[in-house]
Amino acid sequence: MTSTNENVSAFDEVNVFFDRAADRLGLGDGRREMLRTPWRELQVSIPVRMDDGTIKVFAGYRIQHNGARGPYKGGIRYHPEANQDEIRALSSLMTWKTALVEIPFGGAKGGVQCDPTQLSEGELNRLTRRFTANIEHLLGVSRDIPAPDLGTNSQTMAWMMDAYSQIHGHTPAIVTGKPVELGGSVGRDSATGRGVVYVTRETAVDLGMDPTGARVAIQGFGQVGSWTARIAGELGCMVTAVSDVQGGIHNDRGIDVEQLVKYQAEAGTVVGFPGTERITNEELIELDCEILVPAAIDRVIHQDNAPRVKAMVVVEAANHPVTPEADDILNDRGVKVIPDVLVNAGGVVVSYFEWTQNLYQHQWDMTRVNDELNKIMTRAYRSVADRVARDKITHRDASFQIAVERVAHVSRLRGFI
């Protein structure tokens, strides 16, 4: 999975969308600068004793973009290309995402530049503890609450919680996405994928598209992609292609997703799943299908391949999978793009449920989690769709406008400006 825009700042790209919203809202230069700029950025170095006895030093970041609406919230990613600019871009997306779905958080993101697939469990544990110790002074249950992201999972959150609790006493609400046995919420694992499916359902209604039998191609088969694939069946959709870092698979008559999950657990990849033909990640983007779901890394749809996208709708389950140039090309071609800040918000919404459950020491059941998630995602989709209809703008522009408006409004109420 490669993107062609590695030398272009991801933060600048996301701000193309922000600026468009700020223009339409008539925000002056000062206010715009205030809303665009991260409030706090911390870079740390993380020395880790490796299993072979050597010491390696990793770069880590926590960027708190905006806390006007509540404590900072956002994931921690472990990825070889995690860098300050990317984390900055992702932290700003969290600010707009939490505002759009109206949960009481600001936006943040963190990351460590490392390849988690090349580290042992012991190395990952030590890395996570040292990273937590180095950013601990920024965290707090009403200050900043991390969660999993690309390359991290519930185990990483358990280590973070433990490292924080060693200093502050037992503090489950300090991270979300924890194992259920340690105060995690049921339904958190599947939450982002479930939210993707709820938003797809609402989009199909709006477009007058019957989801039954609609062909869905999903790039990425990690937490987000695999749950999206599993839950898509509830709409009657047919998953015809999926991929992971090793490549993709395709069968136009549909893939048995539950069997594929079992296959992947053993083989470590989706590639080679019986009854499918092998395709590349690049081919998946250009596949003949109705719904294309990029659910892996950023900037996989760019100006070079956007003209060849054949789907009717692109549902952005990953963060920032479509560059601004590609976004314009898709819009001009009549391909609907449903943006990341709306589509993948289910994860942080159930993180919010987890945090509240921790604060009042209670546990919800799966039905309650999924029902409340459905309510919030549907409400957010409807507010975006209303704005699209009212102002004749794209779903992305409508989403950014609503979000920026809300953050600007509370900034005024709090008396920042």
Rg (CA), the chain: 20
Which of 149, 244, 298, 327 is in the footprint of ligand GLU by CB under 6 A? Answer: 149
Which of 161, 348, 377, 393 is in the footprint of ligand GLU by CB under 6 A? Answer: 348
> Which residues 6+ apart lie within 8 Å of 351 measured at CB?
73, 145, 147, 176, 177, 185, 188, 191
Which of 15, 171, 176, 264 is in the footprint of ligand GLU by CB under 6 A? Answer: 176
- Identify residue 124 by its one-letter amino acid code: L
Residue 74 engages ligand GLU in binding (rule: CB under 6 A): yes
CA angle 176, 182, 188 (to 5 degrees): 40
Which of 73, 250, 302, 320 is in the footprint of ligand GLU by CB under 6 A? Answer: 73
Cα distance between residue 417 and residue 413, in whole Å: 9
HSE on the CB side for 132, CA within 13 Å?
Answer: 26
State how beta strands 144-148 and 72-79 pair.
parallel
Q: Known catalytic residue: 109? A: yes
| Count of residues that bind ligand GLU according to CB under 6 A | 11
Shortest Cβ 176–ligand GLU spacing (Å): 5
Nearest by Cα to 135 from 67, 64, 184 = 64
Residue 339 engages ligand GLU in binding (rule: CB under 6 A): no
**CA–CA distance from 182 to each of 194, 270, 361, 363 (Å)?**
23, 31, 12, 11
Cα distance between residue 351 and residue 223, in whole Å: 15
Q: Which stretch binds ligand GLU (CB under 6 A): 80-88, 253-261, 347-355, 409-417?
A: 347-355
Termini Cα distance of the chain:
43
Q: Of 73, 97, 109, 336, which residue is the catalytic one?
A: 109
Q: Which stretch binds ligand GLU (CB under 6 A): 67-75, 258-266, 290-298, 306-314?
A: 67-75
Q: Which is nearer to ligand GLU, 281 or 319 (CB)?
A: 319
Residue 147 engages ligand GLU in binding (rule: CB under 6 A): yes
State how beta strands 72-79 and 107-113 pair.
parallel
State how beta strands 336-338 and 313-315 pair.
parallel
Q: Which is nearer to ligand GLU, 149 or 202 (CB)?
A: 149
Residue 344 engages ligand GLU in binding (rule: CB under 6 A): yes
Backbone angles phi, psi at 141, to 5 degrees: -65, -20
Q: Which stretch binds ligand GLU (CB under 6 A): 18-26, 134-142, 276-284, 344-352?
A: 344-352
Shortest Cβ 2–ligand GLU spacing (Å): 21
Q: Which stretch binds ligand GLU (CB under 6 A): 5-13, 69-77, 212-220, 229-237?
A: 69-77
Which of 351, 370, 399, 401 is in the footprint of ligand GLU by CB under 6 A? Answer: 351
Q: Which is nearer to ligand GLU, 149 or 244 (CB)?
A: 149
Residue 91 engages ligand GLU in binding (rule: CB under 6 A): no
The footprint of ligand GLU (CB under 6 A) covers 73-75, 147, 149, 176, 319, 344, 347-348, 351
**Active site (catalytic) residues:** 109
